[in-house]
A and B are shown apart, each in its own frame.
Chain A
Amino acid sequence: MMRDPVTFGLFIGGFLFCIGLLIVIIKKNAIFVFIGIELMLNGANVNLVIFSENDPNLQGQLMGVFVIVLAAAESVVGLAILLNVFKYFQSSNLNDFNQLKH
């Protein structure tokens, strides 16, 4: 079954998604969590590309382009917010962000 390239690709996409989920949950550093989110988005994109291979309308790839742009936007805003949070708490450990008061 693993010799079938489509199934193999789906497994790779699922693997990337699970690894991303694991990193998002277990890592303490906020930047590591961003890395995990990027991995999850890539896992979804791998699936889109593999299903779009059999589609003459290329809908999966078009969706993939939008996913990549959204990932870039998310990462820009997230890092800008993290910079401000770091200025206030002097730490990027998620467990230190324990109050909302400014």
Chain B
Amino acid sequence: MIELLTYVFGALIVVSGLALVFTNNLIHAAFLLAFCLLNVAGFYVIHHANFLAIVQILIYAGGILILLAFGIMLTNRSENGKVLTKNHLLFFGLLCAVGMAMMLYALITNPKTGTIEAIQSVEQVTQIGMRLLTQYILAFELIAFLLLVVLVGAAFTGKKSYDA
């Protein structure tokens, strides 16, 4: 059952990713990204990362997508309601992506990389919380400060200035 779900989520991720490449409609792309990220969250649950799955849904599906939707609505104007975009640099893009895919394939299928038994940690959220406030306290404080700087910077950059 779990194995079946893994393949279902994987297939949905692949389908929505490919649809993202082939779509030209920006609104469709935003919703496809939401779908893709929710499936990634499902994938996290299967791989026993429940806390990260919830963070993924809250921040990505809740925060970044709303930002993207506002970005699309504020920056693109069209008469018929469809926001269409085009492609360029197709050859070099495909070259880079296929080359990267081949490199990753060679790396993953390398016989030196094996698998070991999964360890199911019981108190995952407790563990993550404890480690965030002890071992990773410096990174935690830095990221909190970064968020503050980003908030102030975005508010300052986005505000209406007199000359622009």
Contacts and interface: CB of A to CB of B under 8 A. Distances in A.
Contacts of B115: 4, 6-7, 54
B21 A19 contact: yes
A62 B49 CA distance: 10
Given A58-B121, A61-B49, A12 B13 contact: yes
B79 interface: no
A44 B30 CA distance: 20
Contacts, number: 220
Interface of B: 3, 6-7, 10, 13-14, 17-18, 20-21, 26, 29-30, 33, 36-37, 40, 43-44, 46-49, 51-52, 55-56, 59-60, 63-64, 67-68, 70-72, 74-76, 85-90, 92-94, 96-98, 100-101, 104-105, 108-109, 115-119, 121, 124, 127-128, 131-132, 136, 139, 143, 146-147, 150-151, 153-154, 157-158, 164
8 contacts: A1-B109, A5-B3, A6-B115, A9-B43, A32-B26, A32-B85, A39-B17, A75-B64
Interface of A: 1, 4-12, 14-19, 21-23, 25-32, 34-35, 38-39, 42, 45-46, 49-50, 52-58, 61-62, 64-66, 68-73, 75-77, 79-84, 86-88, 92-93, 95
